[in-house]
Amino acid sequence: MSGEEDEQEDVETLLKRLLDLSSVEAYLHFKLSQELEEARAETIRLVGLFSMCELSDESVKMYRPLIEDLINKYVMEIRRGSSDNNQSKDLR
């Protein structure tokens, strides 16, 4: 009987640990989502500032490819990723 009780305690301990780790995972997921949203907002702000600079100084046009890379990475990819998530939720 003692062996079964030990196993039961081990299972309960593992379940509690799993619950704790699931909570940490949810928190990290939330923080990552916040950071990505902040990166998106800052990229949009940077694009606006860059466009204003472009109007007054033609020489900054050489940085346009860098700006486009940032847009693709932090604005378009995030948007694409969230629409992919919404589509996968719709399929369930």
Q: Which domain does 51 fall in, by range?
A: 2-91
Q: Rounded to 5 degrees, what are φ and ψ at 52?
A: -65, -40
* pLDDT per position as a tens digit, 58-77: 899 999 999 999 999 888 87
> Which tens digit of pLDDT belongs to each residue from 80-92?
766 666 555 555 4
CA dihedral 54, 58, 63, 69 (to 10 degrees): 50
Count of domains for the chain: 1
In this prediction, residue 92 carries a pLDDT of: 43
Q: Are 69 and 63 in contact (CB under 8 A)?
A: no
Cα–Cα–Cα angle for 81, 86, 89, rounded to 5 degrees: 125
